Structure 1
Amino acid sequence: MKNKAVWIVLAVVVVIGFLFMGKYNSLVNAEEDVQNKWAQVENQLKRRADLIPNLVETVKGYAKHEQEAIKAVTDARARLGGAATPQEAADANNELNGALSRLLVITENYPDLKANENFRQLSDELAGTENRLGVARKDYNDEVTRFNKTIRQFPGSIMAGILGFEKKPYFEVSESEREVPKVNFGT
């Protein structure tokens, strides 16, 4: 009778162990998927950051007295390059978006600049990168949603708490980016 009880306890412990291992492995996989998607966002942020100095140099040649806008772009790009967390990157990205918008508005005052082949090519590349960045940000946020659901639902919440898995932050846009841009085809 004692042997039977020991075997039953041992079997229960083994089953629980396998369930624990399976849940742990699924949490590790989910966390790695989030990190992979974040790496794709960083990849696109880096691509954009690499294009910006060329765009700035092109604008500098035409708009020598627009140094404040050029400096804002350069400073924001540096902050983005130094971001260590998704939240820091999101904040720096929002700052860079604002600075780039101001710089591109300035270019409206320089028709020769807008006609410049190098400027047009850089603008097109930047627009393409912005599109890829939007997709990468969406993919990252989708993966964060899956991960956060996994660690908040039972029994994942218990396992995640025991094993130290924490909720991941979303890459969110700022309030200023949510505003509808004003287009004026007048004077």
Structure 2
Amino acid sequence: MSGDRLKFYGFCFVFMGIVLFCVFMGGYTSFWRSENRIEEAKSFLTDACQARLDLLPELNKMIKENKVPLHGLNIDQTAKKAQAILQYVVLQKAPLEDDLAKKFKISQAKLTFQLKDLFTQLEDPSHKSFSKKMAPLRQRFNAAQDNLFITKKSYNDQISYFNERAIAFPTSLFAKLFGFNKIKYIEISKDLFLPAGKTFAPQTS
């Protein structure tokens, strides 16, 4: 009888060990998968940023060829700075450092502001013929801006999911156990990368 009990206890011990192993591994892999989803969302976002930057040479070429006078713009320099910072963001695999995240937001916000200013100037009646000529390119800018809004939302959603699970019980126990609670992801401001309809909306007097 004692031998049967030992077998039973041994079976229970092994069974509980397997269950605990599965629970702990499940807790670890869920955070690991969440990190991968954040990295994937960041990749989509940086690709969207690059897609908008890639439209600028064509825009500048059209403006120069048609000798369109624009005032108070330095979009080339702004774009170069945004491009340089974007490359650092792409290369950093871990959560963005606070300083780099701030520089990324500022550079993209400045680029958006200058694009809005440029499009506003082109809405002047004196540029009517040129505005018609660049209408297809303007649509591509609108599409790029809308894609930025979509990818930003996806990125923020993934970060919010990770951060909430890192502090909510019982998943916070696994976060503390495996060190995920020390990882801080920063969401992108809701005012950055708005849809084209809001970003490039004509100014009203």
Q: Which of the five TM-score ranges fits, normalised by the shorter chain? A: 0.7 to 0.9
- Kindly provide the amino acid, as one letter, of the partner of residue 40 in structure 1: F
CA contact 2:120–2:203 (8 Å) conserved in 1? no
Alignment counterpart, residue 71 of structure 1, candidates 71, 76, 93:
76
Query: Pairwise mapping of residues 1-187 of structure 1 onto structure 2 (< 5 A)?
Result: 7=10, 11-61=15-65, 62-63=67-68, 66=71, 68-84=73-89, 85=96, 87=101, 88-109=103-124, 110-116=127-133, 119-165=134-180, 166-174=183-191, 183-184=203-204
CA 48–126 in structure 1, closer or farther in 2 if over 3 Å, else same = same
- Kindly provide the amino acid, as one letter, of the partner of residue 59 in structure 1: I
Which consecutive unaligned segments of at least 5 residues does structure 2 have?
A: 90-95
- Kindly provide the amino acid, as one letter, of the partner of residue 48 in structure 2: Q
User: What's the offset of the Cα at 1:23?
Assistant: 0.7
CA contact 1:80–1:93 (8 Å) conserved in 2? no
Structure-1-length-normalised TM-score = 0.78
Structure-2-length-normalised TM-score = 0.72
User: What's the offset of the Cα at 1:170?
Assistant: 1.0
Give the Cα–Cα distance (whole angstroms) in 2 for the partners of residues 182 and 129 of structure 1: 18
- Kindly provide the amino acid, as one letter, of the partner of residue 178 in structure 2: L
Which consecutive unaligned segments of at least 5 residues does structure 1 have?
A: none
CA contact 1:37–1:139 (8 Å) conserved in 2? yes
Give the Cα–Cα distance (whole angstroms) in 2 for the partners of residues 67 and 60 of structure 1: 16
Question: What RMSD in Å do the two structures reach over aligned CA positions?
Answer: 3.2
User: What's the offset of the Cα at 1:150?
Assistant: 1.7
